[in-house]
Chain A
Amino acid sequence: MLLFKRFVPWLTAALIAAGSVAAHAQAAKAPDVLIKEVSSDVLDAVKADKSIKQGDVGKVVALVDAKVMPHVNFQRMTASAVGRYWRQATPEQQKRLQDEFKILLVRTYSGALAQVQDQTVELKPMRAAATDKEVVVRTEIRGRGDPVQLDYRLENTGTEWKVYDINVLGVWLVENYRSSFAQEIGSGGIDGLITKLAERNKAAKS
């Protein structure tokens, strides 16, 4: 009993230490390391799975959900694409926008993944101070033919890094949706945009 009492503070201390180490380890994972790990992971998974290359969308979505989405700040992505109208949207509208936009982007991403053959990811040198809250990680997909530029904007949430925009061949994807989103909102309001996104997603499915 007495032994147990003595043991408790020890145990508590050990647990706290372990916890902080874990948290620290997470915070310490540099954004470029994270990107390299996640993208290599995804590429390997695609290469190992024939059904993905044959266009099994369900599988790709599952893969993206498992490996990629945990590292994406999807709310920020959507808010940024919607721009200043985001604050005028009700929470429910915001949620629906997010859901539909996610389907759209995952579809895009799946289309790209289906093209994966013998590619590898290479990190390009990063300029960032240790204190930066937002960074750009630049990578190149190398395979046959010319390398493809693929960059990521990440933000530090305090415990981990999350992606909030992706650049393919010099084009920031979220940024690129801004004017068509504004166009739709201009003509049909936020609900008009939601409808349009849903239509697009349905059309592509069939």
Chain B
Amino acid sequence: MRRGTLSILLVALAVLLGLGGCATVQQARAVGPGAKLDPWENWNRKVFAFNEGLDEHFLRPVATGYAKVVPQFVRRGVDNFFSNAADAWSVVNNILQGKAEPASQDFARVLTNTVFGFLGVLDIASEMGLEHHYEDLGQTFGRWGFGPGAYVVWPVLGPSSVRDSIALPADRWLASPAGYINDGRWAAGISALQLVNTRANLLGASALLNDIALDKYSFVRDAYLQRRRSLVYDGDAPPTPDPADSPDEPASEPAGSQPPAAPASAPAAPSAPASAASAP
């Protein structure tokens, strides 16, 4: 079942990458600042609108109810439980990125919280002063030098990029407790809880977003790309060129100097990758 999903995704990706080839040709002609990063904007906007509808009519009401009904300390426990799995996946990715110190700290976190914190429900490690170093496979690829490629919006899963989409199956399954459970019904239940929990955490951010974005689609896109870039650089990304400081020439930045990043909270993405839920 999982293998099936994976192969579908891989095929989808192959198609996307193929499209990417054609899209590059068009990019050169496109003008808007977003055009280069978002050659599939028309399609992406449709998926985005679909996700927005899903969020408005289903996910947000459910998450709002969840946040109202479930006591704060229970929600905290649920959140910690998912963070613990994200920490475990971070250990792997810190190792893949050659970050020994963060890897060992995250390892200590997982060990402590799993053993003494009831499978991660209590975050004892944080109280001991051990901090998160969230890393996912998308960030690992970025660290290895892969640019984000084109922006992609997935149904239900929300904002992504070509690079992050390749990492997505692993980042969704291996960073979630659902990935380690064999019983399909339990796994589905846990995935659903994770989705609701993530969305509930983003209620404030998404309300704010509605207020401040002129065009929600491009705001979310640019924020997603900026944030992901920032995460690849561990919060210390070199600045991108400021068009106001450059000569009056449209779209003349050196190619490849535009790896944007993105927002964590991609509020629009009901289910931003697991890391988004907790990763600052």
Contact = CB atoms under 8 A, between A and B. Distances in A.
A46 to B, nearest CB: 16
Interface string A98-117: 00000011011001100100
B263 A171 contact: yes
B183 interface: no
Contacts, number: 111
A203 B196 CA distance: 29
Interface residues of B, number: 43
Interface residues on A, range: 35 or more
A180 interface: yes
Interface string A135-147: 0001000000011
Contact of A84 (B207, B223, B228, B250): B250
Contacts of A80: 242, 244
A172 interface: yes
Given A112-B208, A148-B280, A87 B248 contact: yes
Contact of A180 (B208, B215, B242, B243): B215
B219 A84 contact: no
B255 interface: no
B257 to A, nearest CB: 14
Interface in B206-250: 207-208, 211-215, 218-219, 221-223, 226-231, 235-237, 240, 242-244, 246, 248-250
B34 interface: yes
B263 A170 contact: yes
Interface in B259-274: 261-265
A160 interface: no
A204 B211 contact: yes
Given A169-B265, A200-B214, A138 B32 contact: no
A75 to B, nearest CB: 11
A170 B230 contact: yes
Contacts of A86: 244
Contact of B223 (A138, A171, A197): A171
Nearest to A199: B214
A155 to B, nearest CB: 12
Interface in A74-106: 79-80, 82-84, 86-87, 104-105
Contacts of A175: 222, 226, 240, 242
Interface stretch (A8-16, A63-71, A181-189): A181-189
A82 B33 CA distance: 12
Given A111-B212, A149-B235, A170-B237, 15 more contacts: A82-B244, A84-B244, A104-B212, A108-B208, A108-B211, A169-B264, A170-B231, A170-B235, A171-B222, A171-B262, A175-B222, A175-B240, A179-B34, A186-B31, A196-B214
20 contacts: A83-B244, A84-B243, A84-B250, A104-B212, A108-B212, A146-B132, A146-B279, A149-B235, A170-B229, A170-B230, A170-B237, A170-B262, A175-B222, A176-B219, A176-B223, A177-B214, A179-B32, A181-B214, A200-B212, A204-B211
